[in-house]
Each structure stands twice: as structure tokens, then as C-alpha cells.
Amino acid sequence: MSGQGEQERCFEVRAIGRVESPLTERAGAPRQGDEGGPEAWLVFDAPVERGLRDLTAGQEVLLLTWLDRADREVLAVHPRGDRSRPETGVFATRSPDRPNPIGLHRVTVLAVDGLRLRVGGLEAIDGTPVLDVKPVLPGVGER
Amino acid sequence: MSGQGEQERCFEVRAIGRVESPLTERAGAPRQGDEGGPEAWLVFDAPVERGLRDLTAGQEVLLLTWLDRADREVLAVHPRGDRSRPETGVFATRSPDRPNPIGLHRVTVLAVDGLRLRVGGLEAIDGTPVLDVKPVLPGVGER
């Protein structure tokens, strides 16, 4: 890894809120939000309130979370935990176990209540730290 | 923020590689990869090689990067830097300046050469740290 010695390699992400969900165990959670993920609240911390002000009900957004129960040493998995499927490199899978366990969830905003956002179809479990929210990009001409 | 005092709030992400791109300055970069982002190499570190093995040319993937030149204190911006547009909360924009500056890029894998992946349409600048690669999810029945 010559030439990278002087470059910064580690960075700190900070939770800006938490997921409040009826899902409390990873074993019981659907593997993706469109496979039966329930409605959940995203509860944001007061310091980021100004960043939320243009999110409205009906919008589709990408939610980034920190999957804090993940195993970061894993580099290959049997997809969807199915041992009959061949072991696959994690970067070709959506396994939560991976070197940087950042969860990416496409959800619909159902309601906005101050620091709380109600969203539909979220497979993340209760207490999962929220890192970011981004809009789903419209077509190039509408940006 | 009662009740959150005992929960962990900060987490460490680690670069697993770097972008090698002809784009060297943020000012010259397109705002999104589909607005003229050039081809680029993703150069991964040897320890994650096993995680890459099922990525193949032709695949569409989501690349997560750390936008290391971002201003993390920003909570509202004029979209696309256009001062005639009203100031908007960052979570309703794709501004790189935001509390956790994680870049999300949809790119096509053009070639794979060991630890190097050639991708098309990437607006991230040279040297940007790579955090993760995830497949674009197929329809529910094909997973």
C-alpha cells in the first residue's frame, strides 16, 4: 500500500438520530424493506433540525444507517444466509456484515412531526443509528 | 436527548480503497455522475480482495465514498450552488456538505483487474476514499 501511508484512512461518523421500530431483533427482521418492512419512526437529534425542514410526506428518500450489530471482519457470505447458495464476496451482496456496515434503505416519508419522521417499509431494527437522509434523484432535467 | 446518553454515537469508517480519476478539483467535477462523470478506477486495498471476487463487468453497483473535503457543519444550502434557489435543508439535497458526508454513486462496472475496478460515470474526485460497494437490488423474485 505504498503511497497511501500519508493519507487519512479512518473517519468518524456520528449518529444524527435513531430508528424507533417494532422490530427488535436482527433474526426477525426482513432482509430488505420491500419484503415486509414495517412502518417506523426516525427520531432526529435537535442540532440537525434545520437540515430536515424541506422533507415532506410523500417523498421517497434514501436513509443511511449504521448497522451497529454487524460483523466487520466478514468478506464473503452465503447470500441471504442460505448455505445451499455459493459463498459470495460481500461487495456483490447486501449482507449487513461487511467492513463498513452502512445500511442503505429506500423508504417513503409518511409524516413529519418536528424532529420525527414516519417512514414506511424499513427493515432496520429498533435503536439503529441514523447517519444521513438523501432525496431519490429525479431525472436530470428536473434537478 | 435523554435516554441516548448510554448509546454509542460515533463510529469509525475505514477506507477500503481510493478513487483514481482525471477529476482533481471539486470545482471542476460534475454534480452527479450522470451529468458527464468520467470513467475512473477504484483501487482497493489488498486485505479486502476476497470481498470483490464476484463483481463482474457489466454490473451496476452503488459505490459509497467518504467526501473528505466536505464541510460537516452545513445544514442548509442553495441547491446546486445556485443562489437564486431558496436555501434548502441538506437532507432534502444531495449536497456533499452535510453532517456525515457519505457519497452515494450509481456506476457501471466496466472492467475488473485484480484489486482494480474500472467504472463509468463517476463524479467523485481523485483520491476520494472508498467505503463500500453494494449491488443494485434486482426485483424481489430474483434475489
Please report, rounded to a whole number, the percentage of residues in chain A having pLDDT higher than 70. Answer: 92
Q: Write the residue in A4, A88, A94 that is nearest to B137 by C-beta.
A: A94
Would you give the DSSP letter of residue A138? Answer: -
**Nine cell digits for residue A15:** 449518529
What's the gap between Cα A81 and its chain centre?
19
pLDDT digits (tens, 9 = 90+) for B95-104: 999 999 999 9
Q: List C-alpha distances in Å: B17 to A105, A131, B64.
A: 24, 21, 11
Interface of B with A in 97-136 (CB under 8 A): 98-100, 102, 104, 127, 129, 131-135
Contact yes or no for B77/B90 (Cβ under 8 A) = yes
Residues in chain B, overall count: 143
Torsion B62-B67-B68-B73 (CA) sign? negative
pLDDT band at B143 (very low <50, low <70, confident <90, very high): low
Nearest to B50 by CA among A133, A93, A128, A113: A93
Predicted TM-score (pTM) of the model is 0.90
At A133 the three-state DSSP class reads strand
Q: What is the mean pLDDT of chain B?
A: 90
- What is the least distance, in Å, from the CA of B20 to any CA of chain A? 13
Tell me the backbone φ, ψ of residue A35, rounded to 5 degrees: -110, 40
Range in A73-77, A107-111, B31-35, B126-130 the model is least confident about: B31-35
Nearest to B134 by CA among B12, B33, B1, B16: B16
Residues in B closer than 8 angstroms to A64, CB to CB, are 100, 102, 104
pLDDT digits (tens, 9 = 90+) for A42-68: 999 999 999 999 999 999 999 999 999
Nearest to B136 by CA among B58, B62, B63, B64: B62
ipTM (interface pTM): 0.89
pLDDT average, residue stretch A91-103: 96
Residues in B closer than 8 angstroms to A140, CB to CB, are 32, 34-35
**C-alpha–C-alpha distance, residues A18 and B70, integer Å:** 23
CB atoms within 10 A of CB A86: 10
CB environment A73-84: b (16+ within 10 A), e (fewer)? ebbbbebeeeee
Q: What is the mean pLDDT of chain A?
A: 90
**C-alpha–C-alpha distance, residues B108 and B111, integer Å:** 9
- What is the least distance, in Å, from the CA of A126 to any CA of chain B? 13
Q: Across the interface, do A15 and B18 touch by the CB < 8 Å criterion?
A: no
Whether A81 has its CB under 8 Å from any CB of chain B: the answer is no
pLDDT band at B71 (very low <50, low <70, confident <90, very high): very high
